[in-house]
Structure 1
Amino acid sequence: MLFQRPDDDTLYDALITRDAGYDGFAYVGVRTTGIFCRLTCTARKPRRENVQFFDTTVECLHAGFRPCLRCRPMMGSGEPEPLVATLVDALERAPERRWLEADIIAMGLDASTVRRAFKRRFGMSFLEMARLRRLGQAAERLASGDSVLETQVEAGFDSGSGFRAAVTRLLGDAPAKLRGKTMLWADWIETPIGPMIAIADQHALHILEFLERKALASEVAKLRAATGSAIAFGRAAPIDQIEAELGAYFAGDTAEFTTRLSPQGTAFERQVWNGLRRIPAGVAATYSGVAAEIGNPAAVRAVGRANGANPIAIVIPCHRVVGVGGDLTGYGGGLWRKRWLLEHERRMAGALASR
């Protein structure tokens, strides 16, 4: 179902020999230059200790690397659609620009057509790609000692200060408005695939999401409306517990989570979420399989909607649900994370079974 990436030594040998067999299946990021390339790039080859390999261009961008102007890895294999080439060129000329849909329209392009074309080629929209390029620019400035600018924060840069500022805006309440309200506590948890926000009361975890998830703002608003609570930065016992359990999960020690959960959802959504938790790590289920497992085989589409509405990532493992043909389908945290999680769990399940 998934392309199994060779080990890094094999990929480095392919980089040195410019092996075209890996073109499009792996990319190399060069730490000393901040650039990522195809393995067939004709540029001078970096030292082994200065490279990092990735499965997709999206992962390269998320890691802060910028595309090579010589081998043009963002263009993929084959000739891209003209509008794709036009916009990628425009982005490379002005990677720090804050692109809006109005800018696309001003270029005489249809925004919905552009969105579909970029989704087909890259698995993300042009505006999402532009945001990631701004992240890379922000990372470079920080590395050189500059401060985090407001525009970088708005772009979603995941440094501690940028994350806190972005989430403060997301949670909404000014300190003066917190008096007299029941409190929920929010804090971030660093993971190998990006920071997550956790929101909990003293008894249970309500939200665990990657900051980039588009539905996060609506999930927070739904939680505040349902509980009548205010949200402020701080720690509650469930956040400490889930942080420790995530640490063990990412270390490959266990896929079991015992933190008490209290996600906001309908009775049917909670039924689906409970079904998701019964999918073993290392196994991928289908939407129809989950529908059958919860005793409602006709509710495949409703299961899909409930899967997408899940507010507690990883612990309620919506990433373990794939299409009938094995395709990854959607994931609020990004398809690259879904692929990473499935592969991590496949390896972990194998290692645990052999102990």
Structure 2
Amino acid sequence: MKKALTFQEKYDASGRKDSFYEGVFITAVKTTGIFCRPSCRARKPKIENVVFYDTAQEALQNGFRPCKLCKPMEKMDETPEYIKNIIKELHENSYLRIRDGSLRQRGIEPSHIRRWFKKHHNTTFHSYQRMLRINTAFNSIKQGKTITNSAFDSGYDSLSGFNDSYRSIFGDSATHFDEKSVINIIRLTTPIGAMFACASDQGICLLEFTDRRMLDTEFKDLCKRLNAVILPGTNPHLEHVQAELSEYFSGKRKKFTVPLDTPGTDFQQSVWKILQNIVFGETQSYKQQAIAINNAQAIRAVASANGNNRVSIIIPCHRVIGSNGHLVGYGGGVHRKKWLLDFEKSNSKEP
């Protein structure tokens, strides 16, 4: 397996304030008694004053206290509680429109929430609300309600305003609702970074780290394959996956049961099925995967199918390593791959 990061590599990463190494190590400073995330924006300490730990718990046990700036005891990019409450409120009442005045009445600075949604959802707060309303209206129409009733029930003041919003998202009028489907998306946080989870009516169709390269390409490809648009919202599969991921990261779950919806070629499906058969805490090589599908020469094709997997962790492509035992490419980052493998190995033994 690929060797661990050296002291110098960790020091250089912390100097770059690199969030890519979140969950990989903790930086503790002997002169201040404080420990930080790799991405902390505090001034870079002198190398002779630094000690590295694998976890925040180890730093605490050695007498260091958490940094108040980067808050290493909290999950990276955790959604602030006040935003969680607003998102919950909007999901429960799509008719609601939260404008700047309403935010100020709640003691919330509108610019703060605007920046947060732009950074973490790549959309404006008001666009997020509009997409939720359209999603509610779409589901209402699909259930048999009229377009007019669905529009007004979802908080639109006029039918023309609803039609313009609907067309801007779906590319057609609401009368053609049966020609498209909706993929619901949520953002969740884990010990090694934030993730997007997407689900159709059939199951989870995407689970990726939010900083994954080519994520936009994955979104577009998924929409094309399922003839759908991605909108904020929830469904039973997203609630299911959040519960199972929480159990997984607490070391209580080794196998997932949430339904999946993974469009792909027959070959890709066969590779993804083999991936799901790799036991928690164990690894396979691409060659072993190729042999398992009775095509020992298809190593490169197998590697490509692994790379096209959109459902991280649940379809565990992180459990595939090189024939020489080294870690190889992983969409979420090789260091996350190492973290997952180390985590599973340490939790693989039955109590």
Alignment TM-score, normalising by the size of structure 1: 0.59
User: Counterpart amino acid of 1:46?
Assistant: T
Q: Is the 8 A contact 2:284 2:321 kept in 1?
A: yes
Q: Is the 8 A contact 1:206 1:261 kept in 2?
A: yes
**Cα deviation 1:295-337 (Å, max 9, x = unaligned):** 1111000001011110000000001111122221111111121
Match of 2:44 in 1: 68
- Secondary structure of 1:206's counterpart equals strand
Q: CA deviation at 1:72?
A: 11
User: Counterpart amino acid of 1:278?
Assistant: N
Match of 1:46 in 2: 32
Number of equivalenced pairs: 243
Given the superposition, is the C-alpha separation of residues 310 and 264 from structure 1 closer, same or farther in structure 2, using an over 3 Å criterion?
Answer: same
1:230-309 alignment to 2 at 5 Å? Answer: 230-309=229-308
1:76-155 alignment to 2 at 5 Å? Answer: none
- Secondary structure of 1:241's counterpart equals helix
User: Counterpart amino acid of 2:312?
Assistant: A
Q: CA deviation at 1:230?
A: 1.9
- Secondary structure of 1:314's counterpart equals coil
- Secondary structure of 1:202's counterpart equals coil
User: Counterpart amino acid of 1:225?
Assistant: K
2: CA distance between counterparts of 1:203 and 1:39? Answer: 40
1: CA distance between counterparts of 2:290 and 2:217? Answer: 26
- Which structure carries more relative contact order (alpha carbon 8 Å, separation 6+)? 2
Q: Is the 8 A contact 2:275 2:316 kept in 1?
A: yes
1: CA distance between counterparts of 2:42 and 2:341? Answer: 26
**Cα deviation 1:186-222 (Å, max 9, x = unaligned):** 1112111111111112221111111111122122111
- Secondary structure of 2:206's counterpart equals strand
Provide the aligned C-alpha RMSD in A.
3.9
Q: CA deviation at 1:70?
A: 4.0
Q: Is the 8 A contact 1:23 1:40 kept in 2?
A: no
**Cα deviation 1:255-310 (Å, max 9, x = unaligned):** 21001111121110111011111111111211111111121111000001011110
Given the superposition, is the C-alpha separation of residues 160 and 342 from structure 1 closer, same or farther in structure 2, using an over 3 Å criterion?
Answer: farther
**Cα deviation 1:89-147 (Å, max 9, x = unaligned):** xxxxxxxxxxxxxxxxxxxxxxxxxxxxxxxxxxxxxxxxxxxxxx99xxxxxxxx995
Given candidates 166, 169, 179, the residue that maps to 1:176 is 166
For structure 1, the 5+ residue unaligned runs are 6-21, 31-35, 55-59, 74-134, 137-144, 154-158
**Cα deviation 1:160-194 (Å, max 9, x = unaligned):** 66212359999x99942344242221111211111
Q: Is the 8 A contact 2:290 2:298 kept in 1?
A: yes
Alignment TM-score, normalising by the size of structure 2: 0.60
Given the superposition, is the C-alpha separation of residues 166 and 346 from structure 1 closer, same or farther in structure 2, using an over 3 Å criterion?
Answer: farther
1: CA distance between counterparts of 2:112 and 2:288? Answer: 46
1: CA distance between counterparts of 2:264 and 2:301? Answer: 13
Instruction: Determine what percentage of the aligned residue pairs are the same residue.
Output: 29
**Cα deviation 1:22-56 (Å, max 9, x = unaligned):** 733755979xxxxx9x9999x86232xx215x7xx
Match of 2:329 in 1: 330
Q: Is the 8 A contact 1:23 1:39 kept in 2?
A: no
User: Counterpart amino acid of 1:182?
Assistant: S
**Cα deviation 1:238-261 (Å, max 9, x = unaligned):** 111011000000000112100111
1: CA distance between counterparts of 2:27 and 2:228? Answer: 55
User: Counterpart amino acid of 2:44?
Assistant: C
Q: Is the 8 A contact 1:29 1:65 kept in 2?
A: no
1:24 aligns with 2:25: no
Given the superposition, is the C-alpha separation of residues 190 and 44 from structure 1 closer, same or farther in structure 2, using an over 3 Å criterion?
Answer: closer
Given the superposition, is the C-alpha separation of residues 39 and 306 from structure 1 closer, same or farther in structure 2, using an over 3 Å criterion?
Answer: closer
Larger radius of gyration: 2
Q: CA deviation at 1:3?
A: 5.2
1: CA distance between counterparts of 2:298 and 2:326? Answer: 20
2: CA distance between counterparts of 1:194 and 1:39? Answer: 15
2: CA distance between counterparts of 1:222 and 1:324? Answer: 31
Match of 1:226 in 2: 225
User: Counterpart amino acid of 2:31?
Assistant: K
2: CA distance between counterparts of 1:167 and 1:296? Answer: 48
2: CA distance between counterparts of 1:207 and 1:40? Answer: 33
Given the superposition, is the C-alpha separation of residues 325 and 70 from structure 1 closer, same or farther in structure 2, using an over 3 Å criterion?
Answer: same
- Secondary structure of 2:193's counterpart equals coil
2: CA distance between counterparts of 1:328 and 1:241? Answer: 30
